Every structure is written in C-alpha cells, then in structure tokens.
Structure 1
C-alpha cells in the first residue's frame, strides 16, 4: 500500500464519517471508527490497484520504497474513492476531491508515458543508468609475481 489507514483517516473530518458509513447515524465515536476502518482500507486498496496500473508500465510494482509524491497522490485517490461512494457534487465543496483526483491521475499518466521519473529503480531507470556511466582502465602492469625479486 502507498498510504496508511491512519493517514487517510486523518484527512477526513469527523462530521463526514456518518455520511461515508452509510444510512445509519452512529453517535459513539469508537463504533464509528470501527465501521469506517474497513471502508477506508477498501478505498486504499482500490487506490493502490489504480496506481499500480499506471506504474507497471515503467516500474516493478508494488513499489518497495514509496516516494512522497506517490504517498500524497495515493491519499488523494483514496479520499476520492471514499467520497465517490456517496456521490460527488461538482458544484460544491466536493469538487476539491475531484480536482485532487484528476491531478493525481494526470501525474500517473505522465509517469506511465515516461515524462515524469519518480526516482525509484525500474525498467526505464536501469537502462538510463547503465548507459550513462561506464569505467575503463588500462591492463595491469605490475603484480606480485612480476615484482618478485626486484
């Protein structure tokens, strides 16, 4: 996964939890957290799958080291996934979720096209690195055997 449940939960205001959970109002905060946890985990898993779909063109997925940009966009996609479950009103404050999602998708499309390098080793990076650096040296003139007796 490219982000944690705690990171995504931290981006959701408490007053939005009941709306995201569904048709029932839950007054108890602990019960609300128990109900929202699997919903957030599902949104994160969906976001990771979507991200892997773009990254797989250039990098082995899932990434073992997660760059900060990937973490940020993973949270944005997960939040969008959560709010899109209940419908996103483009004329209201929900439009922010859609805008952030669209920015994330544009980023990943550019990564897939090779226009953006995320700084982890992968197919594209390995080929560039090996072509950019090589070392050559002269043959060895002296060795222990050739210096013996001098």
Structure 2
C-alpha cells in the first residue's frame, strides 16, 4: 500500500503539472498516466520505508499525514527527471533530511503508543542452558 494515491498527487500539484510530469515522453498526451503515477508513488513508499524500518512497525495501519506529504514530494522529484526544477529538488532534499531525522529518532511521527518506537526490534540473543555441572566446590579436590 502506497502512502499516497494518484488522486492525492493530482490534488497536491494540479492536473496540468501531473499531466506534464507523467507524460514527459509524450507531450501531446491528454490524460495523466495513472499507472506511472502509481508505480512512482509505490517507489516513494519503498524509499520511505527504508528509513523507517527498525524504528517503526511496518506497514502502518493508519498512514501519518506527514508521510503522505513526503511520498508526494519524493514522487514529484522522481517524475521531474527532465525538467529538474529547483523547487522539486529542494522539496525532495527536505523530505530526505526529515526521513533521516526520523530514522535517528530526532523526530517522531506522532503515532499512538501501540505503534511506538521499536528501537529494541533487534533484541539481544536469548540463551538457555542447564545449570553448571562442575562447580568450584565439586572440583575443589582436583
């Protein structure tokens, strides 16, 4: 499940920009390429999850709003491969800095306690063994 939908992308950046970004190879296209948009949003979600794994249990039951915005900014940057606009690049860089801060624990996503940090996800090894057979007392005569 992606953190944002194609319709949210269109709502955020407008029909004209969405049409332009999803049809860079076909400037005469009249419809937004929703398949490309879905794939790009899925890639953005995977990129976000790379930063969140080990800190939060994934997948989220409810997507935090901030992750929708981050997913939209990442997808826009990825689609903007020919135009390379400064605002798209800056928003992408800001999104990555935000994700790095979340990964380091400097910023929290504001989730409820059930979805709180999973910092101890990589637990220490669990060892089970029987009691000692040879003790200092039993070996005292040797």
Q: What TM-score do the two structures reach when normalised by structure 1?
A: 0.67
Q: Secondary structure of the equivalent of 2:54?
A: coil
Aligned to 2:129: none
Aligned to 1:9: 10
Q: Is the aligned partner of 1:99 residue 2:53? A: no
Deviation of 1:118 after TM superposition, in Å, equals 0.5
Q: Secondary structure of the equivalent of 1:75?
A: helix
Encode CA deviations 1:37-74: one digit per residue, 9 max, x unaligned: 11111110110000000011300122221112111111
Aligned to 2:45: 48
Q: Secondary structure of the equivalent of 2:80?
A: helix
- Measured in 2, the distance between the counterparts of 1:15 and 1:125 equals 40
- Measured in 2, the distance between the counterparts of 1:106 and 1:122 equals 21
Question: Where is the helix percentage greater, Structure 1 or Structure 2?
Answer: 1
Q: Is the aligned partner of 1:73 residue 2:70? A: yes
**Structure 1 residues 114-129: aligned runs within 5 Å:** 114-120=105-111, 121-124=115-118
Deviation of 1:26 after TM superposition, in Å, equals 2.8
Q: What TM-score do the two structures reach when normalised by structure 2?
A: 0.71
- Measured in 2, the distance between the counterparts of 1:63 and 1:112 equals 16
Deviation of 1:19 after TM superposition, in Å, equals 5.6
Structure 1 moving runs of 4+ over 6 Å: none
Q: Which runs of 5+ in 2 are unaligned?
A: 121-142
Decide whether the 8 Å contact of 1:9 with 1:40 is kept in 2.
Answer: no
Q: How many residues are paired up?
A: 116
CA, structure 1 residues 14+112, in 2 after alignment: closer, same or farther (shift >3 Å)? same
CA, structure 1 residues 18+98, in 2 after alignment: closer, same or farther (shift >3 Å)? closer
Encode CA deviations 1:120-145: one digit per residue, 9 max, x unaligned: 2133489xxxxxxxxxxxxxxxxxxx
Q: Which runs of 5+ in 1 are unaligned?
A: 89-93, 127-150
Q: Is the aligned partner of 1:62 residue 2:59? A: yes
